[in-house]
Amino acid sequence: MSQNDDVRVSLHRSHRVLERLPLRRARVLPRALRADDAAAQSSHRRLERQSRARGRFIKQRAHQVSLQHRRLRRARSHALHRVRHVEELLHHRSIELLRLDARFQRRQPARVRRIARRVARDATRDATYASGLATLESCVEAEQFDRAMMEELFDVADAMERVRPGAPESTMLQGYLMSTLFYEPSTRTRLSFEAAMGRLGGGIVSTESAGEYSSAAKGETLEDTMRTVEGYADIVVLRHFTAGSARRAANAIGKPLINAGDGPGQHPTQALLDVYTIRKEIGRLDDFKIALVGDLANGRTVRSLASALTQFNNVKFYFVAPDVVKMKDDIKDLLTSKGIEWEEATDLAAVAADVDVLYQTRIQKERFANPEDYAKASGKYIVDRTIMDALPKSSVVMHPLPRVDEIVVDVDDDFVDAR
């Protein structure tokens, strides 16, 4: 073999060695490294399975907790409903048990009738004063009443509505005297107090236009007048032309006092009546919208009503008034401090389309020192057929009265008017 042949054979062998070199290197990889790689892959797969299992467990647990929460909420709601139902049942049953037939009562001996009247007075008193009403000495501001007191009062009002002449409850105030002391003109307020007192067997001592026909015309102070009247009556109902006068009068005497309106200040009993009317007309005192329209600066009814409605949930206020009689800042600040939504508006028709209650008031001419300001405010916002057509069918229109021209007579018979 020649030298060239030897070289070719050597090159051929070298080429075959180079071809096999990667395979040999692959075969000599450390077995430990391959084992670690397999273990890492196995661990990764195991962690993925565990993570998926935990995810399913968390979802299942969250679903179970959600179901339990909903069941607890339903159970709590049902329990509260049952408690309220039982309370109402007991309350009304206690009143109903006392409504004995008048003819049957007349057939009973006098002693039995006296016992029945005493039981009626005791049961009615217990039913009436189950909340904070028992601690209420005088009714001066709407802020004195919280939600529980108002609801208790409204339940009693529902029961008292069914009292008839001759029933035991119709004499519960027999032997008591009420004085109605009115320094401003009044029709509905004075007569409603006197009628209620008379229907429950009480007596009345009254004076109308007290500023003109009482010793106030001679210069007697309100405090002195109240101390005198206190000697004649067991309770005083006062209307005065000065804001804050009811609080002054209540502080001057030891007998209960009811504020029947103190100038542009407060009218708590009207507010209670308005809240009661809203409950009866729209069926709720939460989650509704109300528009207060007219003389909001001087109107004591709207001020007291706004204060009273702060005790309820999700009530939105619209204030619709001429610039000279807009709602004062103290009421706006009160609503804001309690997180209650309010809005000032100028388009009455647009507001009417969005509210459940439209509360209209008159522009109070007697409160204006400048006739030009009264002319600017008068006749600007009037409830007419256009406004009534804009109201939702379930809405109501309310007015504390007296009316001048702010609600046209053509809509008096409209079915949404709460009157």
Active site residues: 188-189, 218, 239, 267
**Burial state string for 365-375 with b = 16 or more CB within 10 A and e = fewer than 16:** eebbeeeebbe
**The one-letter amino acid at 190:** R
Nearest to 208 by CA among 224, 223, 189, 235: 189
Which residues contact residue 17 at a Cβ distance below 8 angstroms, ignoring those fewer than 6 apart?
Answer: none
Q: What is the largest CA-CA distance in the chain?
A: 159
| Residues 6+ away with beta carbon under 8 Å from 183 | 209, 210, 211, 216, 238, 239, 240, 241
Cα–Cα–Cα angle for 7, 10, 14, rounded to 5 degrees: 140
CB of 406 within 8 A of CB of 294? yes
Q: What is the CA radius of gyration of the chain?
A: 40
The amino acid sitting at 161 is E
Is the dihedral angle over the CA atoms 363, 367, 371, 376 positive or is it negative? Answer: negative
Residues 22 and 28: their CA atoms lie apart, in Å, by 10
SS3 263: coil
Report the run of H or E that residue 95 belongs to, with start and end.
Answer: helix 31-96
| Eight-state DSSP code of residue 410 | G
Q: Given phi > 0 = left and psi -120 to 50 = alpha, else beta, which region is 244?
A: left
Q: Which amino acid is at 259?
A: N
Please give the Cα distance from 375 to 324 (Å, whole number).
10
Output the six-digit token pair for 302: 């709207």
**Length of the chain, in residues:** 419
